[in-house]
A and B are shown apart, each in its own frame.
Chain A
Amino acid sequence: MSAGGPEAEIARIAAKAAHERDTAAAGIHVGQALRRKEDPRLITGRGRYVDDLTLPGTLWAALVRSPEAHARIVSIDSSQATERAGVHGVFTGQDMTNLQAPLPMAWGPPGVEVRNPPHWPLARDKVRYVGDPVAVVIGEDRYRVMDAVEDVLVEYEALPAVVDPEAALEEDAPLVHEELGTNKIHEWPLEGGDVEQGFAEAEVIVERRVVNHRTSGAPIEPRAVLADYRAGSVTVWSSTQIPHYTRLFLALMLGISEEKVRVIAPEVGGGFGAKLQIYGEEILIPWCSRRLGMPVKWVETRSEHMATSHHGRDQIAHVRMGAKRDGTITAWHVRILADMGAYNMFLTPLIPSLGAFVMGGCYAIPNVKTEIVGVFTNKMSTDAIRGAGRPEATHMVEVTLEQLAQELGMDRLELRRKNFIPEDAFPYQSATAVVYDSGDYEKTLARLLEHVDVDAFRREQEQARRQGTLRGLGFSTYTEICGLAPSRVAGPPIVGVQAGFWESAMVRVHNTGAVTVYTGSSPHGQGHETGFAQIAADRLGVDPSVVEVVHGDTGFGPEGRGTYGSRSLAVGGESVAQAANQVAAKAKLIVAHKLEAAPEDIELRDGKFAVRGSPDKGMSLADVAGEAYLGIDLPEGMQPGLEMTNFYEPENFVFPFGAHACMVEVDTETGKVDVVRYVAVDDCGPAINPMLIAGQVHGGIAHAIGQALYERIAYDENGQLVTGTFVDYALPTAAELPSFETDRTETPSPVNSLGVKGVGEAGTIAASAAVTNAVIDALRPLGITYINMPLTPMRVWEAIQEAQNGGAAA
């Protein structure tokens, strides 16, 4: 045993394993398209989502919400509601003054003032958007509590609403928060190089006004909260992506010591960022449970989701791209006006900035500048929705690049190749203050073109046009920044989120050699229970069927940070790998001791920790666990037991990338756009489970096609939400979407031992630009050169009419 004892020895062996990149490549289970361990319960109806859980005596909560976009609350009369049979209480903002803090906003970038007025679970004095909650009714029955909501009489003094973010900055605009004296939240710049110089060198400059409209995350499971306060402790089941943060803020806001708060995210029916939030209801429902001494449950209706679960996007950008005649891009300047809605929620004003760090996309643009202005309006808050700032950035750079190609009369793929960051330039210091970890953009584009014959398409397109049908082909070559994140960058010093971004894992081997993995990430459909089991299984010499992955419960396992920003595998999965490596290292020491061999000579082979060169001398994990728990013959100084906890702090972000192509057909009579073909080549490093990757890519693309063609959160000029249900907010159905053609290249990331990058958001980040470029390509024969999303039949039809009427406004 070397100096430092067994603990140091375990650390040394585990670290060596982490640096042996071939661990993953040589994996037996890693890389396999294993069927999901999650599925048997889900396909048989035995999943347990929050609304499926009811405790004895559970009361129901329903919220009284503002029908006004902006109004003063004059009075609230709940007497009639309270008198209804079965109603246990009606509470307003004035009843909740014992909260210790308002709802959190976690962003404080160094040197930037971010105006952040208090935001309470129930409005006090004023309402600021349609759906702003003013009271909660608690009763015994799901239906009767809704009746009682109708009986709560709220008198409002309506105030003028400000809905348009540009109008919100005008001198005489109504103020969402009067005490601030302005609707402007903040200004945030990021410049690399010198854009003025870059434009001076440019021979061609393209300018556009790019509108990235407001959308909803719209997981099919709405949000839900069940709270059970008993004897000073509270257990809260919430449909959330971040149970540990929910616990923290419950403790801080309710004034309950953190260890007495347990948050459970059971089965979570999709998130897409909409459940990366600390919502008022997650504080309010436990508050009601404490107040009444009974369990209380609230389940969001779909109408409530559309109105009050945070929205995404909603940016108006003025973009300028400058280039030499030969296609060399010299400058890229983006000014974003970001509509934040009525309040800053958990990460609201941060979101556009996430795009700024990859504003240059996969191009070696020396001079890049992003300027962001955030503004309050009388609408629901925006925050992270799948991609969070990066879909907007990719859309801007990829659509503008194709506009530039048109301007230069240059092939758009040639223009891309001309400006790609070359494969040998990685790690690449971008002009946008980050280091891209790895990439090979030529390779993914070349692979894409094996699937897409551009010349053949051009011939078909021409032929179709002669027959009166417009077809278009659009591309998007993207990179993105994910795997959030190195804390020293994403945290307070640089990006300014007031938190760390590590992830944790605990690997526990039981007496029989069965394994439980606790992860701090919190899946909601991604398949962690399968992928993480594959990672641990390979490192411990067991089958994934005996590896149980436990997540989403603050009552067990180490502190965690949750699932968002395509971080779970690159950060949480790496933590599982490292914890498993630590367990394997301890196992090797035990085996070496028992078999009288050197620890360096113990290797994992065919499910056994065996002595190198003596394949018959070895111990299974079950044998090792038996010794570890018996504890009477272990290496000197070694503790009994066989479990390890790891907190993994990544050294960098990861930057997945890819090349997508979209083919559309446009009906000129109706303006309807059909996606005929969609081909995606993505690179997220070596696959842990290729089936899960394909699933993420499919869903991500569908999400962006939805935004590009169908979905839009719309408010009228008075701030009334006009897309408040699935009747008006058009999620794509199976009938609108094609089958997707997907392929992958594998460029490992040097950041983590698995070599992996995130893929949960990549499809969404890539696809809206490919669709939009395809529609523009289709419409070009009509003289239409640019169009903003959403490319609904109405929008496209109007553009066609305008073009046919010689540019007169339709």
Chain B
Amino acid sequence: MSTTVPVRLKVNGVKEEIDVQPRLLLVHALRDRLGLTGTHVGCDTSNCGACTVHLDGRAVKSCTVLAVQADGATVTTIEGMGSEDQLHPLQEAFWNDHGLQCGYCTPGMIMAAAGLLAENPNPTEEEVRHALEGNLCRCTGYHNIVRAVLDAAKTKSATVAQQQEVTA
């Protein structure tokens, strides 16, 4: 177990090179090696989704990916989604709609929801609920999370429509 393997990643736009134990999970590489503690761990069976990040643009649970598997990949974590000055529409919607309480599941929820909206920009409530099935929240009963995702979808399509209008 003492051998390490070099891994190259691009995380939130920054190139990273780290030497890792082959068994190191991506989530621990992000948290313990790169200091990106916004990605959380809530279970040990890949049920809770608190660790969801984007790997080459797709939402994945970073507790089911080895860091070595991510070699050469582009990773986006919650820290790369927006800043306090310029929030991502999902972050704004979670704030507006009280889509979080303790905040622990929130980064994973936002990343999973972003994954959904990338594939399906105008989901129905039913589609949002099913898309978030892999992300557990104990505080909100999901009511306001679902509302936030639907509201973010509206804002995003409004933004896109506006941009199209400008370019037209």
Give the interface of A toward B (CB within 8 A).
35-36, 38-49, 51-52, 54, 85, 142-144, 147, 218-222, 267-270, 272, 299, 301-303, 524-527, 691-692, 694-695, 698-703, 725-727, 731, 733-735, 737, 739-740
Contact = CB atoms under 8 A, between A and B. Distances in A.
B104 A734 contact: no
Interface string B58-78: 000000000000000000011
Contacts of A302: 42-45, 48
Interface in B24-74: 24, 28, 31-32, 36-45, 47-48, 50
A276 to B, nearest CB: 15
A769 to B, nearest CB: 17
A669 B66 CA distance: 42
Contacts of B95: 35-36, 39-40, 43
B78 A220 contact: no
Given A45-B39, A85-B2, 11 more contacts: A42-B106, A44-B38, A51-B40, A143-B21, A220-B42, A221-B42, A525-B103, A703-B138, A733-B133, A734-B129, A740-B143
B102 A44 contact: no
B128 A734 contact: yes
8 tightest Cβ-Cβ pairs between the two chains A and B: A45-B38, A269-B104, A702-B141, A525-B102, A42-B103, A45-B78, A525-B101, A726-B47
B136 A726 contact: yes
5 contacts: A43-B87, A48-B37, A220-B42, A733-B135, A734-B142
B139 A221 contact: no
B104 A270 contact: yes
B143 A698 contact: yes
B23 A143 contact: yes
Interface string B76-106: 0111011110010001001110101111111
Interface centre among B95, B130, B137, B142 (most CB of A within 10 A): B142
B19 interface: no
Given A35-B96, A726-B136, A46 B48 contact: no
B117 interface: no
Contacts of A46: 38, 79, 84
Given A45-B107, A49-B104, A734-B142, A220 B45 contact: no
Contact of A269 (B94, B102, B110, B128): B102
B142 to A, nearest CB: 4
Contacts of B41: 51, 299
B62 to A, nearest CB: 13
B121 to A, nearest CB: 19
Contact of A694 (B39, B98, B100): B98
A218 B129 contact: no
Contacts of B79: 44-46
Nearest to A725: B45
B141 A40 contact: no
Contacts of A692: 98
Interface centre among A42, A221, A725 (most CB of B within 10 A): A42
B125 interface: yes
Nearest to B21: A143
Nearest to B50: A220
B94 A270 contact: no
A272 B140 CA distance: 12
Given A45-B107, A220-B102, A270 B139 contact: yes
B144 interface: yes
Contacts of A694: 98, 144
Interface string B123-157: 00100111011111111111111110000000000
A261 B39 CA distance: 30
Contact of B43 (A40, A48, A526, A726): A726
Contacts of A698: 140-144
B1 interface: yes
B4 to A, nearest CB: 12
Given A35-B96, A52-B37, A735-B130, A219 B104 contact: yes
Contact of A47 (B23, B98, B103): B103
Contact of B47 (A41, A221, A301, A727): A727
Contacts of A143: 1, 21, 23-24, 28
B153 to A, nearest CB: 15
A279 B58 CA distance: 39
Contacts of A740: 141, 143
A32 to B, nearest CB: 13
B84 A699 contact: no
A692 B101 CA distance: 9
A527 B101 CA distance: 7
B126 to A, nearest CB: 9
B144 A44 contact: no
A86 to B, nearest CB: 10
A267 B103 contact: yes
Contacts of B38: 44-47
A731 B135 CA distance: 10
Contacts of A524: 102
B144 A695 contact: yes
A142 B63 CA distance: 14
A2 B49 CA distance: 63
Contacts of A54: 32
Contact of A42 (B82, B100, B140): B100
A218 B82 CA distance: 29
B43 to A, nearest CB: 4
Nearest to B93: A43
B124 to A, nearest CB: 12
Given A47-B38, A727-B45, A38 B103 contact: yes
Contacts of B134: 733
Given A726-B136, A734-B145, A36 B1 contact: no
B102 A219 contact: yes
Given A44-B82, A220-B48, A727-B47, A268 B102 contact: yes
B43 A737 contact: no
Contacts of A144: 1
Interface centre among B1, B100, B105, B107 (most CB of A within 10 A): B100
Nearest to B108: A220
Contacts of B94: 39, 43
A526 B101 contact: yes
Contact of B36 (A45, A218, A695, A733): A45
B136 A695 contact: no
Interface string B105-117: 1110010000000
Nearest to A46: B38
Interface centre among B77, B135, B139 (most CB of A within 10 A): B139
A282 B21 CA distance: 30
Contact of A272 (B31, B83, B138): B138
A43 B109 CA distance: 10
A39 B100 contact: yes
A699 B101 contact: yes
A221 B96 CA distance: 23
A613 B147 CA distance: 48
B122 to A, nearest CB: 18
A279 to B, nearest CB: 18
A302 B41 CA distance: 9
Interface centre among A52, A144, A299 (most CB of B within 10 A): A52
A45 B147 CA distance: 21
Contact of A45 (B44, B48, B77, B133): B77
B107 A220 contact: no
